[in-house]
Amino acid sequence: MPGELQKQIRTQGHLRGMIAFMHLPRISLFSCLFLAGALAAPAQNAGEKKLHALDPALMDSRVDPCVNFYQYACGGWLKQNPIPADESSYGRDTELADQNRLVLKSILEKAAAGGEGHSANEQKIGDFYATCMDTSAINQAGLKPLQPVLERISALKSKDELPELAAYLDSMGISSFFGFSSDQDFKDASQEIAEFDQAELGLPEKGYYDRTDEKSVKLREQYKAHVARTFELIGEPAAQAKQDSEAVLKIETELAKYSLTNVERRDPQALYHKMTLEKFSSSTPGFGFVRYLRALDAPPVASLNVTEPVFFTGLNLVLGSTELDAIKTYLRWAAIRQIPGTSLPQALDEESFNFYGKILEGQQQQQPRWKRCVRATDRALGEALGQVYVAERFSPQDKQRTLELTHDIEAAMDRDIDQLDWMSAATKVQAKTKLHAIANKIGYPDKWRDYSSLSVVRGDALGNAERAAAFEVRRQINKIGKPVDRGEWGMSPPTVNAYYNPLMNDINFPAGILQPPYFDPSLNDAVNYGDAGGVIGHELTHGFDDQGRQFDAQGNLKDWWTEEDGRKFDQRADCIVKEYDGFVAVDDLHVNGKLTLGENIADLGGLKLAFLAYLGRAQKDGVDLAKKGGPEYGNLTPEQQFFVSYGQGWCENNRPEVLRLRVETDPHSPEEFRVNGVVVNLPEFQKAFGCKTGMPMVPADRCSIW
């Protein structure tokens, strides 16, 4: 139950969809490695394929790079890689995630088989995975494991009992009317405080409840039908189930009315309202928050952050005007919706997939059970599984070379700040102070999470899911009132992603992404600076995007800019907003330039930093930038290799349904625009490919911040 700020601001990642939403590395230390040769590669699992950061076979050389660079770099890959039936999209990151899942599957199958020499954590991950895979036992148990939750909701006698019921549900990771957790204090990032947040509802975000276009109206009807079918599957007559689905949608629509939009939630100033518990409780008399905290056994709460006070004012009105039976119906739905499908009987699992997978994302069929159980185990016991993964796939040498690479990109940013003509000397001093304070976290945490208090019972799938959720809830809540643990990670080591956390002021690169096709030790610096270097630069730039720039070197929400420099930044950021607003993602839907602004700034700034770092490395090593590489490098010059490797990192096919979903909810732009939308703003790209001004990839006006 991590704080919503952690999801919206804290973990600003490179890739989408992984804690959900997150990147990679490149640099000087790589030139040494290329000369010395790569470390011995770990043994491959059956089904693994060889991936490269730059592969000429994935290009479409018939396309003019100055007209459509994304198609030039990725055209071959896009044709060769149709979307599998069990995916809503498929890209280079999916290829690597599939490779990692094969590794994790092998680890989990060995752990599940038991035997001497297994640690307690290995026993737990093996038992969790084996239980998840035992669909016969799950189906045989049927709805029986759900009964304690459903009966507790059914036993609600009055609204006055809601605080204790909400605490019971939240203790198992089932969010009821709002979100509650710990988070860093925005104004004192060294301390953890309690945080109350708006509810996470059944549809992806606020706009799904109030848009009146034909597709949105149809989707709400499909959602109601899904809710009704779910109620039928837990035993309700069809007529009652239909009536209850109407009640659910009505309550969720009312709660959405008082919620902030995704764009509004990108402003950290809008999400910080620190107050005493007494003031918060008195402002929402319809719900006993003091009793809720007592029932949840939370640490003493003197002050807390309320991300959206207006939402809780609205919640007070909704609870007051809604009949008790409708509230119980809403809570039954909230509970069923949030229980992992892998721990539910097949019929409920498939019904959930039919709406959230097929209708919302266009996925044609459910993924194989083993993939879903690997993911479920990683979600529940990520650092226990990650510890074994790291031992097999990520050496201390891997960690050191990535750290050195990161230092190279950071040095490029230091030089870049010096040459900014729009920033004053005073603000440059503060920018460098923040840059030099950024902590680099590579591969895995220095201290592994302790899972000794988490009980995993072989054969009890729902119980394991509930206990894992309860473990995480308790871990988060126990932080309240304590100093921040700056060694903590927000992703598990096998994750194919990376992120920047402005409250921690750190960049985080899990071991799972530090391999081909992102970092490829078999290829040269030009390739690796373009791909992995762009990722590192992306994460660094997040510290100075429209959100990150509002936090200082210690992670506090503090304005360290001169007023004039702040205005200049906003003007330059507005150029990027307008550029991306003009991109059509699918059908009639344009990219939302404000929603994606932070990621777009990071993409543009990150690639610029990586290019600056590469030029420095090439000069130091005496690289002839005019000399073309061999066939393995597509007969391209080093600068062209740099840009093509960056472009190929984003090759991806998407179903139209998931593109529509992403435009409404995802802070990352579709992949095509993460390539073309970046290179159009870089004179270095124009020079590398000899493009003439006025061609599609070389507009007369460019956007530039960092």
Order of all β-strands in the sheet with 499-501? 12-13, 499-501, 506-510, 439-443
Q: Which helix (H) or strand (E) holds 276?
A: strand 274-276
**In this structure, are residues 668 and 674 in contact, taking their beta carbons and an 8 Å threshold?**
yes
**Exposure on the CB side of residue 321, measured as CA atoms within 13 A:** 11
Q: Are strands 303-306 and 274-276 parallel, antiparallel or unpaired?
A: antiparallel
- Find, among 356, 464, 381, 453, the residue nearest to 132 by Cα: 464
Residues 1-6 have a mean pLDDT of 38
- pLDDT at position 467 is 97
Q: Which of 525, 539, 565, 671 is catalytic?
A: 539
- pLDDT at position 116 is 83
Flag the least confident range among 4-8, 193-197, 304-308, 695-699.
4-8
- pLDDT at position 45 is 61
Of the candidate CATH numbers 1.20.120.530, 3.40.710.10, 3.10.450.50, 3.40.390.10, the domain formed by 23-37+54-96+394-447+487-689 belongs to: 3.40.390.10
Task: Please tell me which residue, 26 or 6, carries the higher pLDDT value.
Answer: 6
**In this structure, are residues 497 and 570 in contact, taking their beta carbons and an 8 Å threshold?**
no
Q: Which stretches within 284-381 are classed as H helix?
A: 289-295, 309-321, 324-338, 346-353, 360-361, 369-380
Structure tokens at 417: 């700040």
Burial call 243-269: b when 16+ CB within 10 Å, e when fewer: ebbebbbebbbbbbebbbebbebbebe
Angle at 523 between CA 522 and CA 528, to 5 degrees: 120
Q: Which of 192, 545, 579, 603 is catalytic?
A: 603
Angle at 16 between CA 13 and CA 17, to 5 degrees: 115
**pLDDT tens digit sequence for 277-328:** 999 999 899 999 999 999 999 999 989 999 999 999 999 999 999 999 999 9
pLDDT > 70: what percent of the chain?
Answer: 93
- Find, among 653, 673, 659, 664, the residue nearest to 587 by Cα: 659
- pLDDT at position 23 is 26
Give the domain ranges of the chain. 23-37+54-96+394-447+487-689, 146-362
* C-alpha–C-alpha distance, residues 481 and 489, integer Å: 19
> What is the torsion angle, in degrees rounded to the nearest 10, for the CA atoms of residue 169, residue 173, residue 177 and residue 179?
140
Q: Is 200 a catalytic residue?
A: no
Residue 155 vs residues 168, 172, 176, 230, 331: alpha-carbon distances, Å? 13, 18, 16, 21, 12
Query: Three-class SS of residue 197?
Result: strand
**In this structure, are residues 537 and 409 in contact, taking their beta carbons and an 8 Å threshold?**
yes
Burial call 29-51: b when 16+ CB within 10 Å, e when fewer: bbbebeeeeeeeeeeeeeeeeee
- pLDDT at position 401 is 80
Task: Please tell me which residue, 26 or 15, carries the higher pLDDT value.
Answer: 15
- pLDDT at position 677 is 98
- pLDDT at position 44 is 56
* Neighbouring residues of 382: CB distance < 8 A, sequence distance ≥ 6: 449, 491, 492, 493, 494, 495
Q: Is the pLDDT of residue 685 over 60?
A: yes
Mean model confidence pLDDT for the chain: 92
- pLDDT at position 402 is 84
The one-character DSSP state at 357 is: I
- pLDDT at position 14 is 65
Give the total residue count for the chain.
706
DSSP string of 566-609, one letter each residue: HHHHHHHHHHHHHHHHT-EEETTEEP-TTTTHHHHHHHHHHHHH
* C-alpha–C-alpha distance, residues 128 and 519, integer Å: 32
Confidence band, pLDDT 50/70/90 cuts, at residue 180: very high
Confidence band, pLDDT 50/70/90 cuts, at residue 50: confident
Residue 595 vs residues 194, 199, 303, 615: alpha-carbon distances, Å? 27, 20, 31, 32
**pLDDT tens digit sequence for 138-158:** 999 999 999 999 999 999 999
Flag the least confident range among 10-14, 67-71, 293-297, 434-438.
10-14
Confidence band, pLDDT 50/70/90 cuts, at residue 47: low
Q: Which stretches within 420-524 are classed as H helix?
A: 425-437, 461-477
Query: Residue 277: exposed, middle, or buried by beta-carbon count in 10 A (0-12, 13-18, 19+)?
Result: middle
Residue reference for tokens 């330059």: 572
* Neighbouring residues of 256: CB distance < 8 A, sequence distance ≥ 6: 201, 203, 206, 208, 209, 210
Q: Is 603 a catalytic residue?
A: yes
Structure tokens at 49: 């394929």
Q: At 393, phi and psi to the nearest 5?
A: -125, -5
Q: Judge if pTM exceeds 0.85.
A: yes
Flag the least confident range among 166-170, 290-294, 392-396, 438-442.
392-396
- pLDDT at position 9 is 41
Flag the least confident range among 48-62, 487-501, 547-561, 569-583.
48-62
**In this structure, are residues 275 and 249 in contact, taking their beta carbons and an 8 Å threshold?**
no
**CA Rg value for the chain:** 25
- Tell me if the bond preceding 517 is cis, omega within 30° of 0: yes
Q: Is the pLDDT of residue 8 over 60?
A: no
- CB count, 10 Å around CB of 516? 23
Q: Is the pLDDT of residue 7 over 50?
A: no
- Find, among 404, 312, 19, 331, the residue nearest to 159 by Cα: 331
Structure tokens at 348: 């409920």
Query: Residue 693: exposed, middle, or buried by beta-carbon count in 10 A (0-12, 13-18, 19+)?
Result: exposed
Structure tokens at 383: 């650092």
Residues 532-557 have a mean pLDDT of 97
**In this structure, are residues 71 and 553 in contact, taking their beta carbons and an 8 Å threshold?**
no
- Find, among 587, 566, 609, 599, the residue nearest to 660 by Cα: 587
**pLDDT tens digit sequence for 222-251:** 999 999 999 999 999 999 999 999 999 999
Question: 146-362, what's its fold?
Answer: Neutral endopeptidase; domain 2 (1.10.1380)
Residue reference for tokens 């007209």: 67
- pLDDT at position 40 is 35
Q: Is the pLDDT of residue 21 over 60?
A: no
Residue 302 vs residues 281, 517, 588: alpha-carbon distances, Å? 12, 49, 49
**pLDDT tens digit sequence for 186-220:** 999 999 999 999 999 999 999 999 999 999 999 99
Q: Is the pLDDT of residue 267 over 80?
A: yes
- pLDDT at position 211 is 96
- CB count, 10 Å around CB of 376? 23
**In this structure, are residues 245 and 224 in contact, taking their beta carbons and an 8 Å threshold?**
yes
- pLDDT at position 41 is 44
Amino acid identity of residue 41, one-letter, is A
**In this structure, are residues 410 and 540 in contact, taking their beta carbons and an 8 Å threshold?**
yes
Q: Is the pLDDT of residue 19 over 80?
A: no
Q: Is the pLDDT of residue 631 over 90?
A: yes
**In this structure, are residues 75 and 60 in contact, taking their beta carbons and an 8 Å threshold?**
yes
**In this structure, are residues 28 and 36 in contact, taking their beta carbons and an 8 Å threshold?**
no
